[in-house]
Structures are given as C-alpha cells and as structure tokens.
Amino acid sequence: MEVIASGQGETRLWDIDEVRQWKAEKKSRKLADKVTTEKEAVAAFVHDGDYISYDLSSMVRGPMSLEREIVRQRKKNLWIAAKFTLLDTSILVGGGCVSKIDVGFAGLGKPLFRAIEEGRVKTVDWSNGTLALRHMAGAMGVPYLPTRALGGTDTFKHSGAKQVVDPFTSKVITLVPAVFPDVAIIHVNQCDKYGNARVFGPTISPVETAMASRRVIISTEEIIPTEEIKRNPGLTKIPYYIVDAVVYAPWGGHPGTCPGWYTYDADNLNEFFAAQNDSDMKKYLDKYVYGVHDHFEYLELIGIGKLMKLKEMETIREGYHS
C-alpha cells in the first residue's frame, strides 16, 4: 500500500504475534476464584510504565475506585488511552501517575490543562471514535483498521494515523493502529467470582477493551452467583477467561453515576472542579485518596446517608438490573 500522509504523533506499537503468544501462554481458561481487593489487584497487575485503558469514564460507570487506588499506590509513567474521559485523567495526572495521554477527550480541570501546557504530560491527538476503533483492532488481533475519520483535520496531523491509497478502490483512506493495553480497568454492574461480567446501560467498548488487553481488572457493583450467570448467559458481556481480577466495589463509579443504580454526587464534583492548581488538587487527593485506606473507607467518608440519597435520586431502573 502506498502511504501518502503520516501523522506526527508518537505512537506506541506492539508486536501482534508476541501479544498473541503471551495471551496463549499466560491467560488461563481455568475456572478460578479471582475475587481480590483493589490494593492487591492494582499491586499485582498495574506496573509503572504500563499502557492503561478503561471503558466509559468517571461520569458514567467509570472505574473510579480503581483509579483512586492507582493514585494511592503512586504508580508512575503511565500511558493512558483517554477515550470518552473526564475526571479520570485529571485524577491520575494530579497524582503524578501519567506521562502520556492518547487523547480522545483529554478530560477537565485546570491542573490537568496546566500539566499539558507545561509539557509535564505529553498528549497525542486521536478522537473518541478512533481510539475505540484502535481497541477493536486490538481485540480482533489485526495491526490496524480503516476509517473515514481524521482525514483532512489537524487532529490527523498530531495523531499516529496514516493515510494510504486503498488497494481496492484507489481512494484515500485513513488507517489507525491497533492498541494492546497492558491493563484494562473496567467497572461493571454485576460479575461472578470467576470474572463473567454484565454491563447494563451505556457503554463504549467494554468487550473490545478487555479483549485487546493483556491484563483485565474488573470492579463490580455486585458479585452474583455463577448459577445466575448460567441462567441467562446472554447477559454476560465480558467472559471469565479474559479477566484477571474481580474487585467488589459498590458505588465504585462515585462521584459519577452508574445508571440505574445511583446518580452523580454534585457536591463532590463541585469540590473537584474547584481545584484551580496543583495545590488545590493535592488537597482533594489528600482528602479522598491518600487520606483513606481503601474504597470502603472512602465510602465511609462520603457517608451512608449521602450514598443512599444518590441511590434514591436515580429513579430510572428499568433495563439496568437482571
């Protein structure tokens, strides 16, 4: 294929055959109890320098409890796939965990913007859709996928995409490279102890993100019996053999919403967005991340009364429970 244009953004590429071999040797299909704590899961499966991806974001069924644990353990030099993101990058950057971001949407917060502007965090432009497409390519085990997005934009110039002459039509088409995250962190509605996970409501690419990744940590609102999974297997989105750890994390998406389960915590979000600089962000993290031992101490800090109120305020439940 003739390459006619290349984006100038830094791109992490993987040896697809090496990834396939690694998964064949390391990913077991044995039915094993994978329930563990956030502390143990992050310590075992998230390493300094990893490429990390997640499904959805802090505002809707995001893996917030896992992200707080990553900050709490002070992981470093992470490269983040920020597709459909919001607070996620701000918290991880605020905790000094991130060096690079593949940007679908960078996130929000003045401390984040300042870190990017000052060059403390490097960004590579993509789009939400093309980042999702890169995960689909990874899940399929192919080196790239074609798209009609990005072409003719400044985003293309600052991405790692390429434009080529389509060998079938002789027209110009954009190619985006596959991504194979070192670890995926995904918050779900229900999961059994083996890792069979159910996702209800809005999604982006939970299956593709999990399948593309070497290691997968699931946090879940509920741990349900495997007999329930077997009664209605069609509700299983992510199969057990992809998953490495299952973490019980009720209200794990707080301060965002888990549709059908609880709504946003506007007070906490306002406190977060009030951070104008690194010092303000440090105060937020000292209170809600470093100042608590784990997610359950975090929930105690928020207060059971507040949590139950958020649950009551989420009035639409149809379609979000099995």
User: 206-242 pLDDT, tens per residue?
Assistant: 999 999 999 999 999 999 999 999 999 999 999 999 9
Per the rule left: phi > 0, alpha: psi between -120 and 50, beta: everything else, 219 is: beta
Alpha-carbon span 37 to 226, nearest angstrom: 20
Residue 59 is predicted with a pLDDT of 86
- Band (pLDDT 50/70/90 cuts) for residue 318 is confident
For residues 57 and 85, the answer to whether their CB atoms sit within 8 Å is yes
Alpha-carbon span 271 to 266, nearest angstrom: 9
Measure the CA angle with vertex 186, ends 181 and 187; round to 5°: 170
pLDDT of 5 higher than 80? yes
The per-residue pLDDT for range 41-93, each reduced to its tens digit, is 999 999 999 999 998 888 899 999 999 999 999 999 999 999 988 899 999 99
Stretch 130-137: mean pLDDT? 98
* 74 found inside a domain: yes
State which residues form the domain around 300: 3-7+21-313
Other CB atoms within a 10 A radius of the CB of residue 6 amount to 15
Total structural domains within the chain: 1
pLDDT of 316 higher than 90? no
Residue 154 is predicted with a pLDDT of 96
CATH assignment at residue 246: 3.40.1080.10
Residue 201 is predicted with a pLDDT of 87
* E strand or H helix that includes residue 53: strand 51-54
Residue 248 is predicted with a pLDDT of 98
* 186 found inside a domain: yes
Q: Choose among 302, 316, 320: nearest CA to 265.
A: 302
Q: Rounded to 5, what percent of the chain is helix, strand, coil? A: 35, 20, 40
Stretch 266-287: mean pLDDT? 95
* 170 found inside a domain: yes
* 228 found inside a domain: yes
Instruction: Report DSSP letters for 253-290, one per residue.
Output: TTTSBBTTTB---HHHHHHHHT--SHHHHHHHHIIIII
- Band (pLDDT 50/70/90 cuts) for residue 321 is confident
Average pLDDT, the chain: 95
Stretch 180-192: mean pLDDT? 98
* 168 found inside a domain: yes
* 296 found inside a domain: yes
* 12 found inside a domain: no
Enter the DSSP assignment of 118. Answer: T
HSE-CB at 140 with a 13 A cutoff on CA atoms is 13
Q: Which two tokens stand for residue 193?
A: 């102890």
Other CB atoms within a 10 A radius of the CB of residue 47 amount to 16
Q: Choose among 140, 240, 227, 232: nearest CA to 188.
A: 240
pLDDT of 186 higher than 80? yes
* 192 found inside a domain: yes
pLDDT of 165 higher than 90? yes
Residue 315 is predicted with a pLDDT of 85
